[in-house]
Each structure stands twice: as structure tokens, then as C-alpha cells.
């Protein structure tokens, strides 16, 4: 029966070494054996055939440090199409400053020691799919003009991608980083995909630049993650991530997607001119989303479960809060809310003339009153009253808190059945705006005083003062009588 390993060697897609069925290294012509099994004289002859810019095929070959050094020296560290698929590097693999003029593939390769591509130039595509790095892997300062593929790689120790640049898409789908991972200053001119990646130690993307989308969907962060001073051209997607340690975001000018994220540690996001979506996220630790500059718009907080979340400077004018799991756990600082319509509105319903006082309202009330064009199912007034009541305690602005208290009473009045309760609340609203519009009460007092004054003046003008009837004025005494009386 044919040995199993020999069957494997027949299925790899290239002519393998004739030394043994276990060796799947590419056979060198005319020897029929891989470079690892050539005699010294045969190896010298094979290396003399190499020239700068020439392609090399070392698929499945076991390559120690000495053999790799001799190959790179023979090509003057300038390789053409390079095939290292399924190769096994038993010693340190130093490809620093090497130029790959063609595609370079290391798929399914194994690096037992250091793998250094420091400052390496890949003029076309570079592929490391399912490669295993037992120790450190460095691509610091490397340049990849084409696509970079690192899907399902496993890096046992530190991974260094600082100041690397990828001219097109770079994919790290399902990659595993067991050591510290550094992407500081890296540039991705296309899409950068880290979907399903696992970061077992700290990872840093400080000052990284993503021209397209940075996708971390379903990634796992077992230690601290720092995406600080990051620039993303389109969208930063962190949907479905699991972070059990602190996570820091600092970016601008993009959409930040945190839908269904699970973050157990401290979460801090400092955003500028950005949109953030926290739908169905679970934030167990202390969390803060802060507007650093420009505008910060919150797209959705539906079914968000946050133990302690601070929103500072966020625009909530279009974000409905009805489905928040714990509204009382929010802290709203300097946030922007929706407002009532301005001016006077005429309609066919009662009352025909509407004039709204200027106050902050929730987007949920906009939806219920029909001021919003969104097709979502609005809350009923009773639930809106409870929502206003819970949220008025978490805003730091006194005016907004008073407006929410007014909104709670207004929704409670509109939710009450027509009867004495509705009548009492309507009178309370009309008289003084539920005790929150004292200017209205002063206006009523001024109106009553004015009506009373007009009535008094009208009464005084209609009934002038007259003398009593039946009493005559005493007639004057003649002066001669006065003189006689005085003489007597």
C-alpha cells in the first residue's frame, strides 16, 4: 500500500524530492531533489543558475539559515516570483531589505525561529495564508504595493507591522496574535480586514491610516486594544467584537459601527465628525463616548445594555431612546436633542392653531407626533412619559432636565383618559405649564390685573360723582346783617 505521506506529496501540485516520501520539497532540475538534499557541489551549481530578479521555487523545502543566506546572496537580495509555500524555515529567516519583483507566496509555511521582513519591498502581491510563526514576525517598514494576505496566520510571539504600507487590500481574516501586536503608523491604501482575528495580548494601531474600511467584525481582544489617533476614510467596523480588557478609540471623519459589541473592560471613544452606532451593544465596564471636535452623531442606541455610559457632546436629535435597556445608567453631558417646531401652525384638527413653546424633546416624541419621516413604530404617550421621567435625571443641563420633566407631564396628560384627570392636568398645563412655565402663570396674573383695571376705569367713567338729591345749598347771608350782628 502506498504510504500516506507519499499520497500527500503527490497531491501538492509540484514535482517533489526523490529522497524520501516525507520530503515534499520542490525538486531541482536535473537532480530530482530539493535544495535541502543536494550535495555541496550540486547546491553550488544550482545557486550559480540564480541571478538578480530571477524567480525561485522552494515550495515544501526545509530551509535553514545558511541555505537562505546563500540564496539571497546569489540573487543579490532581489527576487522575482518567489514561491515558499509549505516551506519550513528551521533557522532565523531574515528577509530584511529584500526586494520581491514578482508575487511572493508563503502560504502554509512554517517559521520555527525569527521571521524578519524589516523594510522588505513587495512590488506586487504578498501572501502568508495559514502561515505559522513560532516566534516573532516583523514587517516593520515593509512595503506591499499589491494585496497583502495574512488570513489565518498564527504568530506565537510579537507581531510588528509598524510603519508598514499596503498599496491595496490587506486581509488578516481569522489571524491569531499570541504576542504583542503593533500596527503603529501603518498605512492601508485599500480595505483592511481583521474579521474574526484573535488578539491574546495588547494591540496598538496608534496613528494608523485606513484609506477605506477597517473591518474588525467578530474580533476578540483578550487584552488592551488601542486604536488611537487613527484615521479611517470610510468606516470603522467593530460590530460583534468581544473585548475583555480596556478598549480605546480615537478617530475622526468616519462611521464607527459597534453593533452587538461586547466590551467587559473600560471603553473610551473620542470622536470627531463621526457617526457611532451602539445598537445591541453590551458595555459592562465604565464607558465614555466624547465629542473631541466637530460633530458626533449617535445613530442608534436600540437595545443597548450599558452599566455606566457617559455621552458627552453627542447629537441625539435623530436617535430614539425607547429601547434602551437601562436609561438611568446613562450620563448625558452637553448633548444635542431634537426641538419642537418653530412658529404657528394651522390645521383642521382641534385646536386649529398650534404654537409650540421652544423646548428640547426626544426623537421618540418626534416619531409619535408625526414630525419625523422615519417609518419605525412610535411609542405610546404612557411609555414616553416614563422614558422622559427616567432620562431627566441623567442630563447635566438644568434647562434640558426641566424640558424633559415638562415632556413627562405632557405625555402623561395626553395618555390619560378623558375625564377629571385629563381636565385637571389640562388646567395645570394651561395655568402654569405644570409648574415649569412660571412665565405663563405671571402672564395670567398680569391678564387678570389688566382686566380688573380696565373694569375699574370703565366703571368710573360710566358713573361720574353727583351730589345727593333734596338738599339745597345754604343761601349767602347779606353783608349788612353781618355788620349788625357784629355791632350788637
Q: What is the pLDDT of residues 239-262, one digit of tens each?
A: 999 999 999 999 999 999 999 999
* Exposure string over 472-487, b if 16+ CB within 10 A, otherwise e: eeeeeeeeeeeeeeee
Phi (first) and psi of residue 44, to 5 degrees: -60, -40
What residues of the chain score a pLDDT lower than 70?
A: 1-11, 342-356, 371-379, 415-448, 461-488
pLDDT at 486: 47
pLDDT at 475: 54
pLDDT at 377: 61
Evaluated on CA atoms 6, 12, 17, 22, the torsion sign reads negative
CB 274, CB 292: distance < 8 Å: no
Angle 223-265-330 (CA atoms, 0-180°, nearest 5)?
155
In a domain, 408, yes or no: yes
In a domain, 384, yes or no: yes
The Cα-based distances of 330 to 283, 287, 316, 321, 335 in angstroms read: 11, 10, 13, 11, 12
pLDDT at 126: 98
Measured CA to CA, the distance from residue 50 to residue 23 in angstroms comes to 23
pLDDT at 384: 86
Give CA 470 to chain center in angstroms: 96
pLDDT at 280: 96
User: What's the burial of 296, exposed, middle or buried (CB within 10 Å: 0-12/13-18/19+)?
Assistant: buried
In a domain, 357, yes or no: yes
The Cα-based distances of 253 to 16, 165, 250, 269, 279 in angstroms read: 53, 21, 11, 13, 20
Cβ neighbours of 72 (radius 10 Å): 19
Residue keyed to cell 350782628: 485
Which residue range(s) make up the domain with 414?
A: 344-439
Measured CA to CA, the distance from residue 93 to residue 265 in angstroms comes to 38
pLDDT at 353: 46
* Exposure string over 181-217, b if 16+ CB within 10 A, otherwise e: bbbbbbbbbbbbbbbbbbbbbbbbbbbbbbbbbbbbb
pLDDT at 219: 98
pLDDT at 240: 97
Cross-strand bridge partners of residue 357: none
pLDDT at 4: 38
In a domain, 355, yes or no: yes
pLDDT at 8: 42
In a domain, 274, yes or no: no
User: Model's pTM, two decimal places?
Assistant: 0.81
Task: Indicate the pairing of strand 93-94 with strand 88-89.
Answer: unpaired
pLDDT at 5: 37
pLDDT at 359: 81
In a domain, 401, yes or no: yes
Residue keyed to cell 467587559: 264
Measured CA to CA, the distance from residue 476 to residue 80 in angstroms comes to 143
Measured CA to CA, the distance from residue 341 to residue 33 in angstroms comes to 83
In a domain, 200, yes or no: no
Measured CA to CA, the distance from residue 339 to residue 240 in angstroms comes to 33
Measured CA to CA, the distance from residue 476 to residue 485 in angstroms comes to 15
Number of domains observed in the structure of the chain? 1
Cross-strand bridge partners of residue 236: 214, 256
In a domain, 404, yes or no: yes
Cross-strand bridge partners of residue 275: 255, 297
Cβ neighbours of 442 (radius 10 Å): 11
Measured CA to CA, the distance from residue 82 to residue 264 in angstroms comes to 44
pLDDT at 2: 37
pLDDT at 112: 97
Amino acid at each position: 500500500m502506498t504510504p500516506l505521506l507519499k499520497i500527500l506529496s503527490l497531491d501538492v501540485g509540484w514535482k517533489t524530492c526523490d529522497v524520501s516520501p516525507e520530503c515534499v520539497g520542490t525538486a531541482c532540475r536535473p537532480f530530482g531533489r530539493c535544495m535541502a538534499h543536494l550535495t555541496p557541489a550540486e547546491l553550488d551549481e544550482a545557486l550559480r543558475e540564480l541571478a538578480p530578479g530571477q524567480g525561485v521555487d522552494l515550495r515544501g523545502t526545509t530551509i535553514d539559515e545558511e541555505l537562505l543566506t546563500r540564496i539571497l546572496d546569489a540573487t543579490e537580495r532581489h527576487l522575482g516570483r518567489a514561491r515558499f509555500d509549505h516551506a519550513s524555515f528551521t533557522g532565523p529567516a531574515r528577509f530584511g531589505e529584500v526586494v520581491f519583483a514578482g508575487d511572493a507566496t508563503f502560504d502554509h509555511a512554517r517559521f520555527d525561529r525569527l521571521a524578519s521582513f524589516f523594510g522588505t519591498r513587495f512590488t506586487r502581491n504578498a501572501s502568508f495564508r495559514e502561515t505559522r510563526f513560532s516566534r516573532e514576525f516583523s514587517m516593520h517598514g515593509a512595503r506591499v504595493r499589491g494585496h497583502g494576505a495574512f488570513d489565518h496566520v498564527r504568530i506565537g510571539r510579537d507581531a510588528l507591522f509598524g510603519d508598514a504600507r499596503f498599496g491595496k487590500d490587506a486581509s488578516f481574516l481569522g489571524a491569531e496574535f499570541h504576542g504583542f501586536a503593533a500596527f503603529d503608523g501603518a498605512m492601508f491604501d485599500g480595505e483592511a480586514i481583521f474579521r474574526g482575528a484573535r488578539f491574546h495580548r495588547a494591540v496598538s494601531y496608534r496613528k494608523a491610516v485606513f484609506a477605506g474600511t477597517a473591518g474588525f467584525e467578530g474580533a476578540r481582544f483578550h487584552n488592551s486594544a488601542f486604536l488611537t489617533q487613527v484615521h479611517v476614510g470610510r468606516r470603522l467596523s467593530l460590530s460583534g467584537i468581544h473585548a475583555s480588557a480596556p478598549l480605546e478609540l480615537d478617530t475622526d471623519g468616519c462611521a464607527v459601527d459597534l453593533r452587538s459589541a461586547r466590551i467587559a473592560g473600560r471603553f473610551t471613544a473620542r470622536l470627531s465628525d463621526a457617526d457611532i452606532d451602539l445598537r445591541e451593544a453590551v458595555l459592562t465596564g465604565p464607558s465614555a463616548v466624547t465629542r473631541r471636535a466637530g460633530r458626533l452623531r449617535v445613530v442608534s442606541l436600540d437595545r443597548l445594555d450599558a452599566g455606566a455610559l457617559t455621552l458627552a457632546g453627542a447629537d441625539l436629535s435623530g436617535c430614539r431612546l425607547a429601547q434602551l435597556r437601562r436609561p438611568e445608567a446613562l450620563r448625558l453631558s452637553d448633548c444635542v436633542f431634537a426641538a419642537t417646531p418653530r412658529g404657528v401652525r394651522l390645521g383642521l384638527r382641534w385646536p386649529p392653531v398650534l404654537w409650540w413653546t421652544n423646548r428640547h424633546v426626544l426623537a421618540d416624541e418626534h416619531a409619535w407626533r408625526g414630525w419625523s419621516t422615519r417609518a419605525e413604530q412610535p411609542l405610546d404617550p404612557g411609555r414616553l412619559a416614563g422614558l422622559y421621567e427616567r432620562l431627566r435625571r441623567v442630563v447635566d443641563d438644568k434647562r434640558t432636565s426641566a424640558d424633559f420633566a415638562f415632556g413627562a407631564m405632557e405625555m402623561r396628560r395626553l395618555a390619560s383618559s378623558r375625564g377629571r384627570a385629563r381636565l385637571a392636568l389640562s388646567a395645570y398645563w394651561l395655568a402654569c405649564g405644570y409648574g415649569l412655565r412660571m412665565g405663563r402663570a405671571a402672564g395670567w396674573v398680569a391678564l387678570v390685573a389688566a382686566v380688573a383695571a380696565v373694569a375699574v376705569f370703565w366703571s368710573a367713567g360710566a358713573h361720574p360723582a353727583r351730589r345727593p338729591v333734596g338738599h339745597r345749598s345754604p343761601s349767602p347771608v347779606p353783608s349788612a346783617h353781618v355788620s349788625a350782628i357784629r355791632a350788637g
